[in-house]
Structures are given as structure tokens and as C-alpha cells.
Structure 1
Amino acid sequence: MNQILFATDASVSAERAKDMVRHLLQSWPQAKLTVLYVTRSINAYEPASDESLDAERAAFKEIEELAEHEWFSEFPERVKCKHVYGEPAMVISLEAKEHGADLIVLGGRAVGQPDPLLTGSVSHGVLYISQVPVLVVKGDATPEFAAV
């Protein structure tokens, strides 16, 4: 494993996925990580307000700070953060393919049912369209109990 793409929005399910990513980085010392934050494209008929764009930029900056100084601080040379705009499932899948990712990691809704419709719209979309392997971390999954 050389390249991991971690798509996050800093939600509860993404928090669990972040723990899995840390475990993967510890297991593969050569692996590099891209932390990806996607801002959903705004409908052309409803232009984004300056406030909403500022809020998205601030959300990315917060994720970037957390990723570099808390979440993955023990891997400073191996982590980069990126903010992109578009339809999240499509953008995540394309970014992974274009950057040679070996694995996409993202959180899914924390539900107990194995119904794919309850996975979450973004994670379900990535599972459906990605040409790169996808790991969706759901529920109370932790690295100690997850199969890698």
C-alpha cells in the first residue's frame, strides 16, 4: 500500500474512519495519505453566497489543522490535505484514480443494518462508482476489530 485517500467531513462516522487510517499508516510505513474535503457543487441556478463559501473554506482549514496537528501528527511528511469542489462521490472516486490511490477510506452512517441504502449517500456512491478499492468504516468499528 503506497497511497491512501481519506475523504472526510469531520463527522462522527469520519472520526471512526480517521482511527482506521491512523492504523493503516502505522501498518504501512511507506504509505502516503491525502486527506480530501469535498464541497458539494452549487446549483448553477442558485449561486453560492459569500458566507457559504467562507464557511466551506473555514471547514477545510479546520480539517487541515486537525489532520496535520492532531489526527496524523506523527506522520508529518506523509500527509497532505486537499479541498475540491464537485459532486462528492464522483470527485472522491476521480481523485483516488488520478492520484494512484490504493485505497479510499471514508466513514459511513453508524447504523446496525447491512442495508446498502443506509450506508450513506456519499459512501454508497463511492462504493458504486469507484475503480479503486473502498473501505467504509461504520458503527463502532475500531482498528483493533477491523479486518484489514
Structure 2
Amino acid sequence: MTLALITDEPIDETAVRDAVGSDAHGAVVMFCGVVRDHDGGRAVRALDYRGHPDAESFLREIVERVAGETGALVAAAHRVGDLRIGDVALFAAASSGHRAEAFAACERLVEEIKRGVPIWKRQHYDDGVSEWVGL
């Protein structure tokens, strides 16, 4: 079963990890994307993620494609809504028989999610200004 989830609740990191578990895979690589307190030299106090209504379908297609092309088990969850500094925005995992393949699959998964899932970020800066990033 493929785990590809868009949620407005805190991400269940254990569920993502468990989704790539396999007795045949000796390597599990996980990526945890956390909201940081700065960007481009400016202090950030919070951010919003907003997703297209079909964002989860895009995420599922990417997870299935990366799994099919790499042979790794992969899973991902992306949070939307209002997030604070330290909140997990993206949690991705990949497993395979060996570490190099697991690292490569996880990196590819994260890059394709950032490039292909219609989720937009608005940053709120300490000076009171808010702006959409990466549109």
C-alpha cells in the first residue's frame, strides 16, 4: 500500500517510516523538512502551506513513479495549514537493500515533491510582512 498523504494535522512520522518497512530492505533513509526561523537573511516567525484540492493525487503519482523507477519502497506526507517554527512540513522515507539506493530514492522523492506537488508557501516575517515564496 502506498502512503502519500496531504494533511492539516501533525505528520505521523512513524506511519511514514512503517510504510517503507520490509524484511528484505536493510537501509531506510528518512527526510524531515522542518520550518526554520529564517529565509534569505530575514527572520521568519511562521508560515502557511496551501495546497491545490488535487495535491494528494499529485503526491501519490510521484510516490508511485519514484518507487517504480528506483525499485525502492517510498512514502511521504506533507502538511498544509498554519505552521510554526519547528513544525514538520514534509516527512519522506525510502528503503531498499542497500544505503546508496535508499539515499538516492529519498533525495529524488523529495526533489520531485518540491517540483511537482501543487503546494504553495506563504512566509510571515518578524517585521510583519508576509509573502508567497516560490510561486
Is the structural similarity TM-score above 0.5?
no
Query: Which one has a larger percent helix, Structure 1 or Structure 2?
Result: 1
- Which TM-score bucket, shorter chain as reference? under 0.3
TM-score by length of 1: 0.24
